Amino acid sequence: MHIFILRRLLQLIPVLFGVTLVAFLIIQLVPGDVAQVMAGEAASQAQLDQMRENLGLNDPLIVQYGRFLGDLVMFDLGESVRTGQPVMDIIAPRFIITVELALWGMVVAVSVGLFFGILSATYRNTIRDYGTMTLAVVGLSMPNFWLGLLLIYWFSIQLGVLPTSGWGTWQQVIMPAITMGTAGAAVIARMTRSSMLEVIDQDYVRTARAKGVSERLVVYKHAFRNALIPVVTVIGLQFGYFLSGAVLTENVFAINGLGRLVVDAISQRDFPVVQGAVIVLAITFVFVNFLVDIAYRVLNKRIDLN
């Protein structure tokens, strides 16, 4: 198991190289001039040239990339061209908020999704199953910003029980978490249902019944442990979507997360911030996938990747 984890970690290295390279190149390739942004519209050609020289923009790309990587391993993502603050300092608090938001969204998505998925499978082709799956389609089809607005309308304006915006107190967590988690819950519920249906008729489930295992344990232990394996992949992917899709929820509830930061940075052409955010998100995504791989291995003894 330790060897397995070590191997997976080593395999991350080329992936991370690729991620940084793409993030680096995207910023190089988009139109717009960092020097121009920093120096302002009124700057003379001489000032611009000086600026470029100082920033190292005249060096060959490969040299710039090397410098970029060197800084990166020191956790230095450069400075904002707007404010001059280190990008790391700008991103870090925002990133934590977005991760919190995504995690709360996951709590909703996983708990609701698994519960209804199992319910649907154990009562297959009954009214409960049809009801749940209809809800899932609704949840999946509803744009989450609209759901967020509806929630604000009901709970904040009509009932006045929850705050409309902000982040920090538990009351402020509820609606954004539901907004984020609903679509994920629908995907997880559907995946869980079909996965459960695949295993519920397996011989080993019948064996468990024949041993005298209670029906509840047959479903939640013997069937679910096997059904969970494909569901874990979906959960991992959902977390990635949550991180990158947080911007909508953040905007609806005025949460100062990473998503809003990126949107602002893009409109201000604050390239180092955009780049930094892209890298941080990409690394997080890669890391989540790594965790999914480990979870796979723990759940499914037949996988032997050593």
Partner 1 sequence: MASNEQTPVLEVKGLQTSFFTPDGEVKAVDGVDFSVNSNETLGIVGESGSGKSITSLSVMRLIQHPGKIVGGTIELSGEDLLKKSKQQFAKYRGNRLSMIFQEPMTSLNPVFTVGSQIAEAVRIHKKLDKKAAWQEAVNMLKLVGIPAPEDRAKRYPHELSGGMRQRVMIAIALSCDPELLIADEPTTALDVTIQAQILELIKELQEKSGMAVLMITHDLGVIAETADKVVVMYAGEVVEQADVKTLFKQPLHPYTQGLMNAIPRHDIDLDELEMIPGTVPTPQNMPSGCRFAERCPYARDLCVEKHPELATPSNNVDEAVTTGQTRCWIYTDEWDGPNPTKGVATNQ
Binding region for partner 1 (CB under 8 A): 201-215, 222, 225-226, 299-302
Q: Report d(CA 67, CA 244) in Å as an integer.
A: 27
Q: Report d(CA 1, CA 306) in Å as an integer.
A: 9
Q: Which CB, 2 or 302, lies closer to partner 1?
A: 302
For the bound state, the minimum distance from the C-beta of residue 221 to partner 1, rounded and expressed in Å, comes to: 9
Q: Which CB, 88 or 229, lies closer to partner 1?
A: 229
For the bound state, the minimum distance from the C-beta of residue 87 to partner 1, rounded and expressed in Å, comes to: 44
For the bound state, the minimum distance from the C-beta of residue 217 to partner 1, rounded and expressed in Å, comes to: 9
Q: Which CB, 204 or 220, lies closer to partner 1?
A: 204
For the bound state, the minimum distance from the C-beta of residue 209 to partner 1, rounded and expressed in Å, comes to: 6
Q: Which CB, 41 or 203, lies closer to partner 1?
A: 203
Q: At residue 226, what are phi and psi to the nearest 5 degrees? A: -80, -35
What torsion, rounded to 10 degrees, do the Cα atoms 145, 150, 155, 157 define? 110
For the bound state, the minimum distance from the C-beta of residue 301 to partner 1, rounded and expressed in Å, comes to: 4
Q: For the chain, where are the alpha helices, taking DSSP H only?
A: 2-29, 34-39, 45-55, 61-73, 87-122, 127-141, 144-151, 170-200, 203-211, 215-217, 224-252, 258-267, 271-299
DSSP assignment string, 111-178: HHHHHHHHHHHHTTTSHHHHHHHHHHHHHHHS-HHHHHHHHIIIIIIIS--S-SS-SSSHHHHHHHHH
What token pair was written down for 28? Answer: 């190089």
Q: Which CB, 38 or 200, lies closer to partner 1?
A: 200
For the bound state, the minimum distance from the C-beta of residue 188 to partner 1, rounded and expressed in Å, comes to: 20
Q: At residue 77, what are phi and psi to the nearest 5 degrees? A: -105, 15
For the bound state, the minimum distance from the C-beta of residue 203 to partner 1, rounded and expressed in Å, comes to: 4
Q: Which CB, 161 or 217, lies closer to partner 1?
A: 217
How crowded is the C-beta side of 161, counted as CA atoms within 13 Å? Answer: 6
Q: Which CB, 51 or 232, lies closer to partner 1?
A: 232
Closest Cα partner for 256 from 182, 168, 184? 168
Q: At residue 263, what are phi and psi to the nearest 5 degrees? A: -60, -45
For the bound state, the minimum distance from the C-beta of residue 224 to partner 1, rounded and expressed in Å, comes to: 10
Q: Which CB, 129 or 270, lies closer to partner 1?
A: 129
